[in-house]
Chains A and B, each alone.
Chain A
Amino acid sequence: MTMTNRVIEEFKAEFKSVDITEAPYEKQGYHLSIEARTGNLLNIIDFLDKREFYIIDLFCVDYQDYLELVYFFNTHRELCRIKVTLKLDPVKPVAPTISNTYTIARWYEREVHEFFGVYFEGHPNLTYLFLHEEIGHYPLRKQHVPVPDGDKKLLNSFRPHEEENSFFINLGPQHPSTHGVLRVVLKMDGEYLISAEPVLGYLHRMHEKMAENKSYMQFLPNPARMDYPGALLFNLAYVEAVEKLCGIEVPERAKYIRTITCELNRIASHLLWLGAFPADLGALTPFMYAFDDRENILDILEDVTGSRLTYCYFRFGGLYNDINEETFIDATKRFIERMRERLVMYDKLITGNVIFINRVKNIGILEQGQAKKYGFSGPVIRSTGIPFDMRKVDPYAAYGSIDFEIPTGHIGDNMDRYMVRMKEIEISLNIIEEGIKRLPSGPFKTEKVPKKLKPPKGDIYNAVESTRGETGVYIVSDESDTPYRMRWRVPSYSNLMTFPHLSRGVLIADAIATLGSYDIVVPEIDR
């Protein structure tokens, strides 16, 4: 009996009056959908919490007649995606908070509040997270809805209050170790952190709003600018979602080339992190070495995609162009050989370094139990010992036919996160090798894909494993050539939000090490 059937049975026994419907997974990307009401939402959340569901995402869609809150859930053991929806009155939208059960909802709800004007009853701190205070309307509402005057005070962004024996410092938004423009307000007691509160939105580039203004084809370059170190993987998430929505077939060859280039990109992204993480700890030498290797990948990918960083290589139904059998495969093989030698060197250079070990071992320990509350993913969750990887759980592209292992850590400290990523580089090399061996010949794209896509009415959630974790895109189509609503579920967001929990009572230097070990990318969080 599969997880889905079991959930349906148990749900029907517990909630007699609530509808639970099965959705076609291939078309919509989720198994079950539940229509909740304000009265029974918390009971449903409790039901899911007891069955070890973690929260993937929480967001809102404005259907003009009503607002719809969408909650996505899944389990770490078996794929069973559940969409819970809650309809709200557009004039005075109020919903109960679920942040007591799922901690990460605290930030998701703040986001929904400032973009849609939804109030969450019982939320501990409903203030601005992303937007500038001068923006006087709710940006993602379909009609112009100004922020009510009475709420302006409530909407003030986080302002620290000095207390006796403690003081505040700002980490960022201009700080080398925040990897971009992240700001974290730290409450300090001498060298120790009392609390940390991330403030986002310094690079909020309105991707979700842009999607509602552009056609499916025009939005294609955007995902690459969300997560630039792993541009191809975001590109893939979007392209696959639209392909599933429109029912476009992809040739086998394209699937394999997608897999190979994505893994190359994953290594490039991990190498960027491999340089930046020791640099946060004060070791600047690995930076030089890692970038040296990274340039090799950039050369290979530039050859096929045409750009060095923000790739836009995948098209609906295939690729932009075919790879050159000789040059691409030769260069990739040479790179694999070289990288394997270099990994041995990195082991000697960084992993065995006593100072490095003392800085990262047993620091920033994440427990397995937190995974459900925060919904973090990628190397961060694998470091706690849960072998959760979208490539295995829900195989896409050619990952289903390639065998690979998933590296896991033991205790979930910074050292484990480092080791998991190093191991992943090795495994990515194996996947590329296997992919090249099996690369079929044939067409690299489907003909007959219309220039102007008009997908049928409906919604889809599609997730891939990007370098930082589960990256999902949710699209609502209303049969026009622009998406009605597009929502991005980004892994760095939920990974970063464990930082306030981990940094409580630690030394500031250790907190920096923890922040570095997440490998966050700020444009991805801010979108």
Chain B
Amino acid sequence: MGKRSFHLETKDPIIKFAVLDKILDLARANSLWPITFGLACCAIEMMCASMARFDIARFGAEVFRPSPRQADLMIVSGTVTKKMAPILVTLYEQMPSPKWVIAMGNCAISGGPFVFEGQYNLVEGVDLLVPVDIYVPGCPPRPEGLLEGLMKLEEKITGTRRFPVPEPKW
């Protein structure tokens, strides 16, 4: 699989509306619809993030969709194996544009703890398959980490940050 590239070319839209685009971006950034795509351990923390305590709904991203056709954010939460890679790419291609990808956890970023000499079944980083917007490190990252990743993505889409960066308390 190694050298087969799944990168898609993203082109700028043909028609642009200066102000309307900005308003649309603002709307998109504040209502991201992630696809229900739990891969491994990180998926549990993703579920925690959407539950009452961390409440991802505060940031408008609680509508987890089982169908890629209804989603515009893919949170790759876990290890991507060679057997899973073509399916992941298919799902990404099925999502309507504009779409974003968050690589959650060390496995999705670089293969994490499962990289060793002679490994035969691991894609060392999901960015070898699809373009990644935000990386959230951790094994697994805390739900707060994922929420921060979400805010970084909002910042990337709109250009401004909605919430202040919290000061560490220790």
Contact = CB atoms under 8 A, between A and B. Distances in A.
Do the two chains belong together in a single complex?
yes
A113 interface: no
A287 interface: yes
Nearest to B54: A295
B82 A134 contact: yes
Q: Which residue, of A181, A214, A222, A229, has the highest number of chain B Cβ atoms within 10 A? A: A181
Q: Which residue, of B81, B91, B119, has the highest number of chain A Cβ atoms within 10 A? A: B81
Contacts of A292: 51-53
Contacts of B39: 180-181, 203
Contacts of A139: 120-121
Q: Which residue, of B52, B84, B142, has the highest number of chain A Cβ atoms within 10 A? A: B84
B36 interface: yes
B1 A134 contact: yes
A175 B79 CA distance: 16
B114 A210 contact: yes
Contact of A206 (B40, B66, B121): B121
Interface string A214-241: 1000000110010011000000000000
Contact of B40 (A131, A137, A228): A228
A42 interface: no
Q: Which residue, of A132, A201, A209, A523, has the highest number of chain B Cβ atoms within 10 A? A: A132
Given A292-B52, A309-B44, A173 B87 contact: yes
Q: Which residue, of A134, A135, A205, has the highest number of chain B Cβ atoms within 10 A? A: A205
A524 to B, nearest CB: 11
A209 B121 CA distance: 11
A144 to B, nearest CB: 10
B75 interface: no
Given A210-B114, A523-B40, A204 B83 contact: yes
Contact of A225 (B41, B51, B66, B119): B41
Interface in A355-379: none
A354 interface: no
Given A174-B37, A204-B81, A214-B116, A180 B43 contact: yes
Given A213-B116, A214-B116, A174 B87 contact: yes
Contacts of B91: 174
Interface string B37-71: 11111011101100111000000000000100000
A205 B112 CA distance: 11
Interface string A236-250: 000000000000000
Contact of A203 (B44, B47, B79, B140): B79
Nearest to B39: A181
Given A228-B40, A228-B41, A309-B41, A205 B81 contact: yes
Q: Which residue, of A180, A214, A287, has the highest number of chain B Cβ atoms within 10 A? A: A180
Contacts of B140: 308-310
Contacts of B118: 209, 213
A13 interface: no
Contact of B142 (A201, A308, A523): A308
A82 to B, nearest CB: 33
Interface string B133-154: 0000001101000000000000
Nearest to A308: B142
Nearest to A290: B51
A291 B120 contact: no
Nearest to A213: B116
B164 interface: no
Contacts of A181: 39, 84
B113 interface: yes
Contacts of A272: 44
Q: Which residue, of A135, A203, A221, A523, has the highest number of chain B Cβ atoms within 10 A? A: A203
Interface string B111-129: 0011011111110000000
B78 interface: yes
Contact of B41 (A132, A287, A310): A310
A429 to B, nearest CB: 22
A229 B42 CA distance: 11
B110 to A, nearest CB: 14
Given A272-B44, A291-B52, A291-B53, A135 B81 contact: no
Contacts of B41: 225, 228, 309-310, 523
A202 interface: yes
A209 B119 CA distance: 8
A135 B139 contact: no
Contacts of B82: 132, 134-135
Contacts of B51: 287-288, 291-292, 295
B139 A205 contact: no
Contacts of A204: 81, 83, 121
B47 A131 contact: no
Contacts of B47: 291
B87 A228 contact: no
A291 to B, nearest CB: 4
20 contacts: A137-B120, A173-B87, A176-B36, A180-B38, A180-B39, A181-B39, A201-B121, A203-B39, A203-B40, A205-B79, A205-B81, A206-B114, A206-B121, A210-B116, A228-B40, A292-B53, A295-B53, A308-B45, A308-B140, A309-B45
Interface of B: 1, 36-41, 43-45, 47-48, 51-53, 66, 78-79, 81-84, 87, 91, 113-114, 116-122, 139-140, 142
Chain A to chain B: the 10 pairs with minimum beta-carbon distance, closest first? A291-B51, A228-B41, A132-B83, A202-B84, A132-B82, A295-B53, A176-B36, A205-B114, A176-B66, A213-B116
Given A181-B84, A206-B114, A213-B117, 11 more contacts: A173-B87, A174-B37, A179-B38, A206-B120, A209-B119, A209-B120, A221-B113, A228-B40, A295-B48, A309-B44, A309-B45
